């Protein structure tokens, strides 16, 4: 056994063995592994390759041609190592002969190669071949001694997600040693299920995915792990569903005449879809078991009103509703909307966020509002995660409404369910009804896969007065200038415009702010010097953002330059134009949500998508052009489709479920994400989960499965 391997030959391992207990792993390596969430032998074995280099076929050196990838085997006939004279780099230079010809191999700044190899040694090399003045050569090829089992060369070679200081070669060595020292591979999937579905055991699947002898092996392993992850998703979803079905909730009688009179007093008519979903929810609330429902509606379809009708029905029965929103801006907007709908009904409405404490239109102290809540005075309480604090106590909490639940962090979402099951109110024997809303239209397969624990209501109809938003893609500077001129004319007519920039990941947040500020200056000085331009970005304080948006709404600005912070919670009826810069960074569903910020008034509205333009001198120009062309085709979907559900299906087809849902948000690994759109897999997994829970609801007869499911729960969060 190599001394620098992870494991000593005598080390006996289990899945739970922490890597920190293995003496040969130094602290710096542990911290690097931690960056990849690898802490135990189990984590190491489940760090799957993201691709493979096919070096399975051995080629004679005489058959090699430049630019091809090959594996060769031969004897080292010369070896030179030392610093290069010009670039001061450490170079290892060997010549290998196999009898048919010779090949040079070069490694730069890899001293350990010179320490490992020597003249006369038989080696196997895998890599890309090039030709220079001295003949054929490979630069930085994978290598190993020819007498060893193929690990880094001469096979389908796994390439892993890496981090600085941890290479795929490192992972391959550690995994070889892990398989040698791990005797027990406890399999959570019952054997009868594996046989029925023709899937390999866990031990076989792990070996197949790390060291496949063929593409067939790799696909079989991926099929096994895709089923396993989806099986866990369905088990958990069905358990949550059963929990809600068994949980007692306060039945809330539905006074149909009272609701009808309230609806009749509104200054607009409900759509048929709003009526249908409202009826489903109000009927659900009448039952003595807890409602657990998802309200899925397109941008501008009127979800808030449907949820507000449910909250009003609860209030009419003397009970309370907690209405949670992910941002203060959205919470404030919900307060305005619900007050507008029900302000004359006599019901008490409150707002609780980090910055605001409002009770029936008046600002109050936090202490006053908390006392009022505990006394049951406000019947509808709107707020952010501030409503999840331990000192927030309701008297009679009967309904929890959560808007855009996926925008809460994992810990906050877990707290939401805890709040629902362990609400601090006067009814410890019951739990509140639960309604979650999203404006992201979810394709059917993902609804079944991720929301199987919920009943689903869909608002698939927009109010009749909403005009479709004309959408087009501007591909060059000339087309962009036409758009700028069009916006100038719209503003002169009294309209307003949004200009949106992509939200960059948190580590680049300051660059995002800088880019937005620079762009704001460019637009103000060079493109729209005659107009007033506001700015909103993610690093502004909540009240600053809200003030800027309020100023825009009150027409103090003609144009609002913003990052993705305006995705939800901005309602400006006078805004009729939108430009989205670097539109290819966004998913179609998200772009559809952005453009829903315009078209809310009486005017015909337009949305213009500006893809990033590649520099003509950039490298890999042909490949970039192909990618750019594909992105432009994707963006053009928005020019022809206006139904959010059709757009979501197109987005899923173009980008795959990982990009659609966001892998980080769900916690699911790549293999499961790749297969989320596989309806057959989802249905098979769901049926197997139903069967096993039918005979063993607590999984007491399946301890390995129960343990694996607990481990799975720590990684992901179902809605």
What DSSP letter does each residue of 77-123 carry, written as one string? Answer: EEEEEEE-TTT--EEEEEEEE-SS-EEEEEEES-HHHHHH--TT-EE
* Stretch 321-345: mean pLDDT: 86
Please report the pLDDT score of residue 665 as a whole number. 43
* Cα–Cα distance measured from residue 573 to residue 494, given in angstroms and rounded to the nearest whole number: 12
Domain 57-154 has CATH 3.20.20.120: no
CATH superfamily for 470-641 is P-loop containing nucleotide triphosphate hydrolases (3.40.50.300)
The domains spanning 252-286+302-438 and 470-641 adopt the same CATH topology: yes
* pLDDT tens figures, 501-540: 875 444 445 555 666 778 888 889 999 999 999 988 877 7
Please report the pLDDT score of residue 527 as a whole number. 92
* Stretch 352-360: mean pLDDT: 92
* Stretch 578-607: mean pLDDT: 85
* Cα–Cα distance measured from residue 645 to residue 297, given in angstroms and rounded to the nearest whole number: 9
Collapsed DSSP state (helix, strand, coil) of residue 310 = helix
* pLDDT tens figures, 277-300: 999 999 999 999 988 888 988 777
What is the CATH number assigned to the segment(s) 252-286+302-438?
3.40.50.300
First vs last C-alpha separation in the chain: 47
Contact 342, 349 (CB under 8 A): yes
Contact 677, 445 (CB under 8 A): yes
Q: Is the pLDDT of residue 500 over 80?
A: yes
The single residue listed with the structure tokens 């620079």 is: 518
In the chain, what is the greatest distance between 2 CA atoms, to the nearest angstrom?
Answer: 95
* pLDDT tens figures, 602-624: 789 999 999 876 544 444 444 45
Contact 323, 382 (CB under 8 A): yes
Give me the residue spans of the domains in the chain.
1-54+162-184, 57-154, 252-286+302-438, 470-641
Q: Is the pLDDT of residue 669 over 60?
A: no
- Average pLDDT of the chain is 83
Six-digit token pair at 347? Answer: 């019901």
Beta strand 90-97 with 69-83: parallel, antiparallel or unpaired?
antiparallel
More confident residue, 158 or 653: 158
* Stretch 99-107: mean pLDDT: 92
pTM above 0.75, yes or no: no
Q: Is the pLDDT of residue 465 over 90?
A: no
* Stretch 399-408: mean pLDDT: 75
């Amino acid at each position: 056994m190599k001394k620098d391997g992870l494991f000593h030959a005598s080390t006996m391992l289990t899945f739970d063995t922490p890597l920190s207990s293995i003496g040969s792993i130094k602290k710096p390596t542990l911290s690097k592994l931690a960056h990849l969430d690898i802490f135990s032998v189990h984590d190491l074995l489940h760090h799957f390759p993201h691709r493979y280099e096919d070096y399975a076929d051995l080629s004679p050196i005489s058959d090699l041609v430049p630019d091809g990838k090959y594996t060769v085997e031969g004897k080292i006939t010369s070896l030179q190592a030392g610093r290069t004279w010009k670039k001061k780099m450490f170079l290892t230079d060997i010549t290998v002969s196999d009898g048919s010809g010779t090949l040079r191999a070069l490694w730069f700044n890899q001293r350990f190669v010179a320490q490992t190899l020597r003249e006369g040694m038989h080696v196997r090399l895998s890599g890309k071949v090039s030709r220079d003045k001295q003949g054929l050569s490979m630069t930085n090829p994978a290598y190993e001694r020819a007498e060893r089992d193929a690990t880094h060369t001469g096979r389908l070679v796994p390439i892993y997600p890496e981090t600085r200081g941890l290479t795929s070669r490192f992972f391959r060595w550690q995994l070889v040693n892990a398989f040698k020292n791990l005797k027990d591979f406890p399999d959570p999937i019952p054997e009868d299920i594996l046989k029925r579905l023709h899937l390999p055991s866990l031990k076989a699947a792990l070996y197949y995915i790390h060291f496949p002898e063929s593409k067939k092996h790799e696909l079989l392993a991926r099929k096994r792990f895709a089923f396993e992850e989806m099986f866990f998703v369905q088990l958990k979803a069905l358990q949550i569903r059963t929990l809600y079905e068994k949980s007692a909730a306060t039945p809330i009688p539905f006074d149909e005449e009272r609701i009808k009179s309230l609806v009749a007093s509104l200054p607009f008519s409900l759509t048929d879809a709003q009526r249908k979903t409202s009826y489903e929810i109000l009927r659900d609330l009448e039952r003595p078991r807890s409602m657990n429902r998802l309200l899925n509606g397109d941008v501008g379809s009127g979800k808030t009103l449907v949820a507000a009708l449910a909250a009003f029905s609860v209030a009419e029965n003397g009970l309370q509703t907690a209405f949670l929103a992910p941002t203060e801006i959205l919470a404030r907007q919900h307060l305005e909307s619900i007050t507008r709908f029900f302000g004359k009904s006599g019901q008490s409405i409150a707002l609780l966020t980090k910055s605001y404490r409002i009770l029936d239109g008046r600002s109050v102290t936090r202490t006053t509002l908390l006392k009022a809540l505990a006394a049951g005075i406000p019947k509808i309480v709107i707020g952010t995660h501030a409503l999840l604090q331990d000192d927030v106590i309701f008297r009679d909490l009967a309904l929890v409404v959560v808007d855009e639940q996926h925008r809460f962090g994992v810990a906050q979402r877990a707290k939401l369910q805890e709040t629902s099951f362990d609400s601090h109110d006067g009814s410890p024997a019951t739990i509140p009804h639960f309604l979650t809303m999203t404006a992201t239209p979810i394709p059917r397969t993902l609804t079944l896969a991720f929301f199987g624990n919920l009943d689903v209501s869909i608002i698939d109809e927009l109010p009749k007065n909403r005009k479709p938003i004309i959408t087009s893609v501007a591909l060059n500077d000339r087309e962009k200038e036409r758009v700028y001129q069009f916006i100038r004319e719209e503003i002169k007519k009294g309209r307003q415009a949004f200009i949106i920039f992509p939200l960059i990941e948190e580590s680049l947040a300051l660059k995002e702010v800088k880019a937005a500020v620079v762009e704001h200056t460019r637009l103000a000085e060079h493109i729209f010097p005659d107009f007033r331009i506001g700015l909103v970005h993610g690093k502004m304080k909540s009240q600053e953002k809200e003030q800027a948006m309020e100023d825009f709404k009150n027409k103090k600005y003609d144009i609002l330059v913003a990052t993705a912070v305006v995705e939800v919670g901005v309602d400006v009826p006078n805004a009729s134009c939108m430009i989205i810069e670097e539109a290819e960074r966004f998913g179609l569903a998200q772009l559809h949500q952005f453009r829903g910020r315009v078209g809310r008034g009486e005017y015909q509205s337009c949305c213009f998508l500006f893809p990033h333009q590649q520099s003509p001198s950039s490298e890999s120009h042909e490949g970039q052009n192909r990618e750019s062309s594909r992105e432009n085709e994707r963006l053009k979907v928005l020019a022809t489709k206006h139904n959010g559900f059709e757009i979501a299906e197109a987005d899923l087809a173009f980008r795959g479920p990982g990009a659609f849902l966001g892998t980080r948000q769900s916690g699911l690994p790549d293999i499961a994400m790749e297969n989320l759109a596989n309806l057959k897999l989802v249905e098979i997994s769901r049926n197997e989960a139903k069967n096993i829970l039918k005979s063993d609801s607590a999984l007491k007869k399946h301890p390995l499965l129960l343990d694996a499911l607990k481990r799975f729960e720590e990684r992901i969060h179902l809605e």
